[in-house]
Amino acid sequence: MSTFIQLHLLTSYPPANLNRDDLGRPKTAFMGGAERLRVSSQSLKRHWRTSDLFQEALAGNLGTRTKRLGLEVMQRLLDGGVAEGKAKDWAGKIADVFGKLEKDSVELSQLAHISPEERQAVDTLTDALIEEKRAPKDEELNLLRKNPSAADIGLFGRMLADDPAFNVEAACQVAHAITVHPVVIEDDYFTAVDDLNSGDEDRGAAHIGETGFAAGLFYSYVCINRDQLIDNLRGDVELADKAIAALAEAAIKVSPTGKQNSFGSRAYASYVMAEKGTQQPRSLSVAFLKPVQGKDQAAEAIAGLEEQARRFDQVYGDCADKRYSLNAHAGEGSFQELMAFLKND
């Protein structure tokens, strides 16, 4: 049976616009009869994956999501003295391995997640073409790997529509983060002043703008299938545990960067409940179907989360073999102990 690691987080953000919709306003969701702030799972995963913390912890074991592989190969061929027509043709053949190309271009039509060893294979082949002044052979274009050793591909998966045999099933699921309470999105009216305007003739602002914002205490949920992750990483248990630790730390410490320069809304999680076990996972978002309305929202949300976990256990039996909670609101637990809990079997 699979072993699941589940993280339940409560993170409080001051006035912010962490994740914008198509109109530039904070994203929302309607839940429990009330409008909530929302941060999409795509936004969360992107910021965690690209954070310095995650990148440094897993250096050398991370893939690259890009449409520009063919463009880079073509430029490398040109720099190596290959004629433009041949460089475009050869680069197109290499890029085509990872997906369909844009019309009359060597750029991919969709993002491809490329592992370090796949990228190394591309570079090695490109160097050989430059040195030997020839086109790639069909047998040399087997650049994809069925089990790439990239931690982020192992966690978040990969889909190659044209080569489904090389798809990777994600070992990690991330829910959209929502506030535990209702919100009202407000508008910040702001102006910018021209420093060189003395005001003798015109005292008006050089720019006038408006941006939406709101503050909130967010519930976030992450579920990792540890056995699936190990399988995705070709049985590398050590790398899988490093990936789990890096993801957990990023989820706890890394904030979305939307409008950070305007709001400075960086935050650590105030509360984390980590669970391990072979039982089927479940979110605890149902704890907040009734919005938290009290003055001490953090304490009430923590109590509600823990009570909901207890009730699930009462009805279904233990929903996790082990639990560990970090409560920065009350000053209980420690980050080091939480990391140790995630590593131990």
pLDDT in tens, 311-328: 999 999 999 999 999 999
Contact assessment for residue 27 and residue 47, using Cβ atoms and an 8 Å cutoff: no
Q: If we measure between CA atoms, which residue out of 114, 121, 125 comes closest to residue 62?
A: 114
Higher confidence at residue 151 or residue 198? 151
Section 80-98 average pLDDT? 96
- Tokens, residue 119: 């990228």
Residue 96 has pLDDT above 90, yes or no: yes
Q: Length of the chain, please?
A: 345
CA distance 144 to 69: 13
Helix axes 237-253, 335-343, angle to 10 degrees: 150
Q: What confidence score (pLDDT) does residue 210 get? A: 84
Average pLDDT over residues 183-199: 84
Cα separation, 345 vs 185, in Å, equals 44
Across the chain, which distance is largest between two alpha carbons, in Å?
Answer: 77
pLDDT at residue 203 is higher than 80: no
- Quick check: 192 pLDDT over 90? no
Mean pLDDT of the chain: 94
Average pLDDT over residues 194-199: 79
pLDDT at 40: 97
| Banded model confidence at residue 202, pLDDT cuts 50, 70, 90 | confident
What are the tens digits of pLDDT across the range 130-146?
A: 999 999 999 999 999 88
By C-alpha distance, which of 219, 218, 216, 210 is closest to 183? 216
Q: Does the pLDDT value for residue 258 go beyond 70?
A: yes
| Confidence check: pLDDT of 198 > 80 | no
Give residue 327's identity as a one-letter amino acid code: N
**Stretch among 45-54, 79-88, 154-163 having the lowest mean pLDDT:** 154-163
pLDDT of residue 42: 96
pLDDT at 194 over 90: no
Residue 237 contacts residue 38 (beta carbons within 8 Å) = no
Judged against a pLDDT cut of 70, whether residue 345 lies above it is answered with no
Rounded mean pLDDT, 251-276:
95
What 334-339 contacts at long range (C-beta under 8 Å, 24+ apart), as own/partner pairs, is 335/252, 338/248, 338/272, 338/274, 339/245, 339/248, 339/249
Residue 162 banded pLDDT, cuts 50, 70, 90: confident
Segment 58-73 mean pLDDT: 96
Would you state the pLDDT for residue 220?
98
